[in-house]
């Protein structure tokens, strides 16, 4: 029978003379650094295993399922002595990429500091969650920790590790899986382990009915415009022409709808200065429906917006759920100003003129509008939309695991709400993400 000796060192294990400097250093590295590091990596394996899925659009649900079980088992059984460092390394493995956006500021050194800060924040969170070695306490915290939104950031969702597994993704199934692993971890319940394994079948998704992709021909473009070049005026003509080439390519291939990523047009598109571009888009929209990202402003603020050009005119849907720190400051203004001065960072915020998710109509189809972060928050899936149109700019974090975690979260919510998500991205793979036990990538462009 599997032993959890690896997680809980016994008191009767051989002692070492920690007063010897060499032995002390070896002891610290082995027992206080190496072990939490290894266990944090094992806990994070479902993310890194999905790199293959992200790159090739194929995955192996049974292997993913085993990795998830191992990951959750590690959480339940790790010695609380390692909890803080375990949480620190988990924060690093999951969210090290947050610091990459500072490559485009005057304080590039924050690329290395931000991951450490993020690691410390998650170290504190997970230290509390693992405060007791009691398996029941651990099972409860594991089931609830996904509800903890730190500064409005809600990407730490262990449930999402089930996204590409054979298991259901609802909370009841997750609790069943955690309870089963808890039973497997308690020696006194050894006689119930066989029964626990049988209960696992109640968490398996046996649903055979598959959501159907609509018949309309939709071209999801993928672009790779570098973030450092995107907002430089001298590059604007090249970017605009490339976008029009994508649209013309879709028209030539007789697509019904062409989708360009978030801020594909790097400008405030509704300004009179750009009325020539808008006129050209309106003209092309008589041949094909064009969905694209750009900014918008009015008397109340500046918005991150989806523009829909159809039948010679356009309308728009602004981003509603803004990304914390990236698009708004989830901390009091005087604190944000203080850190802005210390780190020499100029930040700007978008505005949101609604608290309700927006829909867009394209022909006979109704899509829930989502811009990047929105598709990874449960608020965007209110009323279980049948279709979602998602546009993203992931170049901020390229190369990193960020688009993989985004993919997992979108798949998680797609399965949970039975939504088909059409995703066009800059800097990462475009895809159709369905609630089915499958993933279809359509990486298309010129």
The CA angle 43-44-49, to the nearest 5 degrees, is: 120
C-alpha to C-alpha distance for 324 and 373, rounded to whole angstroms: 9
- Is residue 238 among the annotated active site residues? no
Question: Helices in 57-98 by DSSP H: which ranges?
Answer: 61-77, 83-95
- Is residue 262 among the annotated active site residues? yes
> Are β-strands 257-259 and 218-220 bridged in parallel, bridged antiparallel, or unpaired?
parallel
User: Of residues 168, 230, 262, 402, which has the active-site annotation?
Assistant: 262
Element (H, E) at 390: strand 387-393
User: Of residues 372, 374, 402, 411, which has the active-site annotation?
Assistant: 372
3-state helix, strand, coil in the chain (%, to 5): 50, 15, 35
User: Of residues 230, 319, 358, 411, which has the active-site annotation?
Assistant: 319
C-alpha to C-alpha distance for 309 and 303, rounded to whole angstroms: 18
CB count within 10 Å of CB 253 equals 12
- Is residue 346 among the annotated active site residues? no
What lies within 8 Å, CB to CB, of 111 at 6+ separation is: 99, 100, 102, 103
Give φ, ψ of 392 to 5 degrees: -135, 155
C-alpha to C-alpha distance for 434 and 122, rounded to whole angstroms: 31
How far from chain centre, in Å, is Cα 281? 31
List residues with catalytic annotation. Answer: 262, 319, 372
């Amino acid at each position: 029978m599997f032993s959890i000796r690896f997680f809980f060192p016994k008191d009767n294990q051989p002692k070492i003379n920690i007063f010897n400097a060499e032995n002390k250093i070896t002891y610290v590295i082995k027992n206080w650094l190496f072990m939490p590091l290894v266990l944090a990596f094992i806990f994070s394996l479902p993310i890194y295993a999905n790199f293959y899925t992200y790159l090739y659009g194929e995955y192996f649900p049974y292997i993913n399922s085993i990795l998830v079980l191992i990951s959750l088992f590690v959480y339940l059984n790790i010695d609380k002595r390692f909890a803080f460092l375990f949480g620190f390394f988990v924060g690093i493995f999951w969210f090290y990429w947050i610091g990459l956006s500072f490559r485009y500021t005057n304080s590039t050194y924050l690329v290395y500091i931000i991951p450490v800060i993020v690691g410390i924040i998650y170290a504190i969170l997970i230290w509390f969650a693992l405060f007791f070695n009691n398996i029941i306490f651990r099972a409860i915290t594991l089931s609830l920790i996904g509800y903890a939104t730190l500064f409005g950031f809600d990407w730490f969702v262990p449930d999402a590790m089930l996204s590409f597994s054979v298991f259901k993704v609802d909370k009841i199934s997750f609790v069943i899986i955690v309870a089963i692993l808890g039973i497997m971890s308690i020696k006194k319940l050894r006689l119930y382990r066989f029964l626990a394994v049988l209960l696992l079948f109640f968490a398996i998704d046996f649903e055979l009915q598959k959501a159907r992709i609509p018949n309309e021909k939709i071209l999801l473009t993928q672009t790779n415009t570098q973030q450092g070049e995107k907002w430089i005026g001298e590059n604007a003509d090249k970017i605009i022409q490339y976008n029009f080439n994508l649209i013309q390519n879709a028209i030539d291939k007789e697509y019904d709808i062409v989708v360009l990523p978030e801020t594909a047009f790097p400008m405030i598109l509704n300004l009179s200065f750009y009325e020539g571009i808008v006129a050209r888009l309106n003209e092309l929209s008589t041949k094909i429906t064009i969905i694209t990202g750009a900014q918008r402003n009015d008397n109340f603020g500046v918005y991150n917006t989806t523009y829909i050009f159809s039948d010679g005119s356009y309308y728009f849907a602004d981003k509603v759920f803004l990304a914390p720190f990236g698009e708004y400051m989830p901390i009091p203004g005087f604190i944000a100003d203080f850190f802005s001065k210390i780190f020499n960072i100029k930040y700007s915020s978008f505005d949101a003129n609604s608290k309700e998710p927006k829909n867009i109509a394209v022909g006979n189809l109704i899509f829930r509008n989502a811009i990047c972060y929105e598709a990874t928050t449960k608020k965007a899936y209110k009323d279980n939309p049948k279709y979602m149109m998602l546009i993203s700019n992931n170049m901020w974090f390229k190369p990193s695991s960020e688009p993989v975690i985004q993919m997992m979260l979108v798949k998680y919510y797609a399965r949970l709400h039975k939504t088909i998500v059409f995703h066009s991205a800059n800097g990462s793979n475009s895809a159709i993400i369905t609630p089915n036990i499958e993933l279809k990538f359509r990486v298309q462009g010129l």
